[in-house]
A and B are shown apart, each in its own frame.
Chain A
Amino acid sequence: MYGYMDHLCQQFYRCTDWNEDNSYANVIETARNLIDFDIPDGASLIVSSQSSKNSFTSYTLSNLGMVNGSVAYLYSSRPLTTIEPSREIPLQELVSSYRILKPLNPPPDPIFWQQWHAGVRVDRKDTLLYGRLFLPGNSLEALLVRRLSPKSQLLVTCVSDNQIKNKGAITFNLQRDNGKWRNEIIYSTYESLIGYRGMYNIGFEESPSSSTNRSKVSPPVSRLAFGLEVFYGIASKSPGFSTAMRYTTQSAYTGTPLTLTLMSNPLMGHISATYAVRTTNASSFASRFDFNVYSYISDLSIGCEIWRKGAISSAVNSVEPPLPTDFSGVFKASTSLNSRKLRLLWEGRYKEILISTGAGISLSPRTPLATSVGIELQYSS
């Protein structure tokens, strides 16, 4: 389940029309959501509130190891109107699941964003500021997102902690999105890492005006995307390179959306292929096969998620497909042959609290043994 602050970031991107699906880092997002989901560690409690349309706070408390917690504040210059309290928010927005790709739209011309008033330009660039203080360890993390133009965005993240090298690190990420392609340039002070990410889409429907046609444009029938990333750590002389390809389509016979991706790291000889399918409105399945050409280490992982209808909706209508707000919980499971571990997760809502509990059961000794159990409670108002 996304934390409150992550959810706010996503809503900020949505409000400012920034397509996160177009990022190279999210190429295999669907398979990663279904197979590599996060199980909460220990017991944690997140309480958040929206002070106004622009400012939000969140407190977390967890007993991982010893009792620790954090305090976070977020400010957004653009009012985020789509934030709902935890008793009303649809569960699909918070749970990472099969990702239906949004239609690609070319960004508007920058001139459309200009606002003039009394001869003076009064438009402001959308900014999001976020900071979190971890209490026992006195470490700090901060994030700044600034939408420089309809086509570019600057993302700055920094961490200040006593235990990392040089006591802190800051990373700059300049992103340029054209609709059809996207480039990112990354620089991080931690070991002086520089990197480049690029993404190119085929099957992109051009539309003359994005804002009016957005609702009418049907979801893309099929889309192919290529991407690559190159990194080089200057201080430690460590290079890294990988390419990926994603094909999203709907099955010709049944119409079920499916996603195929292929990712490879030529330097290390690592190839990974995934296949994810959304069988019904309430269930998805994914599988992934990893193979290393040099060491012949291979692995097969599978994952699934099943949504559960709420009690109210099942009484009202059982014939029609459930509405998005009717889902009351989701159950996820994943396993892999090499790790010999079964990971289970249940996320749902109870009254006003969003609950996420999970367990990792290791199957390698003959008897199953629960190696990690966790629960996370979220409340937001």
Chain B
Amino acid sequence: MSFKFNWNSFNDESFYTRAKKLLTDALNKSNKPPIIVDKIIVQDLSLGSEAPDLEILEIGDLADDRFRGIFKLTYSGNASITLATKVQANPLNVYAQNAPGFCMPQFLGASSSLAMPLNLTLSDIVLSGIIILVFSKAKGLTLVFRNDPLEKIKVSSTFDALPGIAKFLQVQIENQIRVLFREELPTILHKLSQKWTPSGSEMSELMSLKSHTSSPISTEPSSPRLKPVSLMEINPDMPEFSPTNMLKLEALCASQRTLNLFTPAIPEAVYRSSLESFENARRKNGRDVQSLVGGDDLYDVMRLQTKQAQNRSSNITPKRRVIKIKRNKASDSTNSDTPSAEASAASTPISSSTPTSASTATSASSNTTSSTNTSSSLSPSSSNTSSNSSADLNSSKTTSIAFLPVIDESLASTSAIPSLDLKLPRQRRESILKPTSILEQDGKQAPSSKHEHEHVHWTHENALPKDKLFKDFFSRNVNIRPDDHTNNPPPPAYVA
């Protein structure tokens, strides 16, 4: 089984000019020995009209990420390359450049330089070899020649008139090309293939990042992190995640990487750095953290409950349920305060609710099928729809899901549990600790005037700027409307 090469695609003129330029730059990049006086220029490059003959002899291993095979390569076309440079004809000049200056006899004119032009042409290349090719996605490509592939090569130069020098050049170049096939070509291909393996691509990105930061003038301003990363590259065995989600996460993380002082808050996340300030702010405002009576803050309650939960065991992530207690005041209308399983699935401790309070809440609400109704509807979409359906208070902008048991004053006062009217349309009143009023997405919404709470209601006006984060945390706006954002994420400034 052999391959068919479309060798004519190389006949493109622009390909050859570009290839010649690349090769010339590569040859002149490193330090040249003192015997070469001028730049090395590729004058002529031609890959010939005949394609090499590649045949598969054996395939040893074939898998999704591995390949091993033995090929046979023969080539006897008319490819050729011509190089032009200038060489130093005075050997004593080369000596004078290499020798240590202190103990070198001072040459007066014996080391004058004489630069002679040299044109070197390699043509009539005949290759025949057996290649062992091993490819693995993890390690890259390894290519080894089982035998010496070079059979014949014709070296012609401007020194052909001098048979001694011509023979010397022929022998030297043949040896170098054998070394190239044996040693250099596998190394080069291996390094090149490492770009497509996971560890290799990281290494190459690290190298490129290092070279970009070390070079004073960096031509490429973007850091490797800007490139979208597919999970298949990291771990091919795992299932793919949705690219949309990955991009959203990427944009989210990127929006934080900025020098702007005011960054948009990440929804459903708590910033560990702001916890202390929350606590201090609470205390400063004269609220007693400990007491629950009196309609205390949502946050204090949360903290207490979380502490209790943590004291018990850290593994359990209790769910928080909201108890909607229907009141007689019909003016209140509540949004659906459905507990959310997703929120409890969030891994921050604040979000976890305590089992005790949940149990009390559930016991209190065991009679309330409506609450179970609502509690059963845990999906955000349902809450969205319910919020949309309910009276519009804050629901136009947010669908708030409370994670805490809304400890109503009725509960706290241990009065009789009012009955819930199932048949009436759900008139939910906004509870005291209605998170929706607190947890506004952008703080623009004024709390409902319908709120008639005996207790101090933590309203938007009292909110400290940083408290908005908690609001954001409790708002479960997956489908965020574009005008919800007051401040769009500033364009990320990558400090590379």
A: residues with CB less than 8 A from B are 24-25, 27-28, 141, 143, 157-159, 161, 164-165, 169-171, 173, 186, 188, 190-191, 193, 195, 197, 227, 229-231, 233, 236-244, 263-265, 267-270, 272, 292, 294-295, 297
Contacts and interface: CB of A to CB of B under 8 A. Distances in A.
Given A157-B103, A161-B100, A193-B95, A242 B108 contact: yes
A238 B88 CA distance: 12
10 contacts: A24-B108, A161-B100, A186-B105, A188-B104, A190-B103, A229-B109, A231-B107, A231-B110, A236-B91, A242-B108
Interface in B71-103: 89-92, 94-95, 98-100, 102-103
Contact of B108 (A236, A244, A297): A244
Nearest to B101: A159
Contacts of A24: 108
Contacts of A165: 98
B95 A265 contact: no
A5 B115 CA distance: 36
B114 A239 contact: no
Nearest to A263: B109
B234 interface: no
B105 A188 contact: yes
Given A242-B107, A264-B109, A292-B114, 11 more contacts: A141-B100, A141-B103, A159-B102, A161-B100, A164-B99, A169-B103, A231-B92, A240-B111, A241-B110, A242-B109, A295-B116
B100 A190 contact: yes
A190 B104 contact: yes
Given A233-B92, A236-B95, A268-B90, A242 B110 contact: yes
Contacts of B102: 141, 143, 157, 159
Given A238-B92, A294-B114, A27 B108 contact: yes
B106 interface: yes
Contacts of A169: 99-100, 103
Given A233-B91, A236-B95, A239-B92, A268 B103 contact: no
B105 A173 contact: yes
Interface in B446-476: none
A190 B99 contact: yes
Contact of A238 (B95, B112, B115): B95
Residues of B in contact with A, size category: 20 to 34
A155 B105 CA distance: 11
Nearest to B114: A268
Contacts of B110: 229-231, 240-242, 265
Given A238-B91, A238-B95, A239-B92, A270 B109 contact: yes
A272 B110 CA distance: 12
Contacts of B95: 191, 193, 233, 236, 238
Contacts of A27: 108
A169 B110 CA distance: 20
B90 to A, nearest CB: 5
Given A231-B110, A295-B114, A295-B115, A170 B92 contact: no
Contacts of B107: 229, 231, 240, 242
A169 B114 CA distance: 27
Contacts of B99: 164, 169, 188, 190-191
A151 B92 CA distance: 30
Contacts of A157: 102-103
A171 B103 contact: yes
Interface in B91-144: 91-92, 94-95, 98-100, 102-116
Closest 6 CB pairs of A and B: A238-B91, A242-B109, A240-B110, A240-B92, A270-B112, A157-B103
Nearest to B111: A240
Interface string B59-78: 00000000000000000000
B465 to A, nearest CB: 53
Given A159-B100, A169-B100, A263 B92 contact: no
Contact of B104 (A143, A171, A297): A171
B167 to A, nearest CB: 16
Contacts of B109: 229, 242-244, 263-265, 270, 272
A270 B114 contact: yes
B130 to A, nearest CB: 40
Nearest to B117: A295
Contacts of B100: 141, 159, 161, 164, 169, 190
A169 B103 CA distance: 7
A297 B112 CA distance: 12
A240 B105 CA distance: 12
Contact of B91 (A171, A239, A270): A239
A195 B103 CA distance: 14
A238 B114 CA distance: 14
A338 B491 CA distance: 54
Contacts of A264: 109
A159 B95 CA distance: 16
Contacts of A141: 100, 102-103
Contacts of A190: 99-100, 103-104
Nearest to B116: A295
Nearest to B99: A190
Nearest to A165: B98
Nearest to A233: B95
B108 A171 contact: no
A173 B109 CA distance: 19
Contacts of B112: 242, 265, 268, 270, 272, 292
A27 B103 CA distance: 20
A25 B106 CA distance: 6
B388 to A, nearest CB: 72
Nearest to A25: B106
Contacts of A243: 109
B103 A263 contact: no
Interface centre among A157, A173, A227 (most CB of B within 10 A): A157
Nearest to B115: A295
Contacts of B113: 268
Contacts of B111: 240
Contacts of B105: 25, 171, 173, 186, 188, 193, 195, 197, 231
A191 B103 CA distance: 12
Nearest to A171: B103
A191 B95 CA distance: 9
Contacts of A292: 112, 114
B114 to A, nearest CB: 4
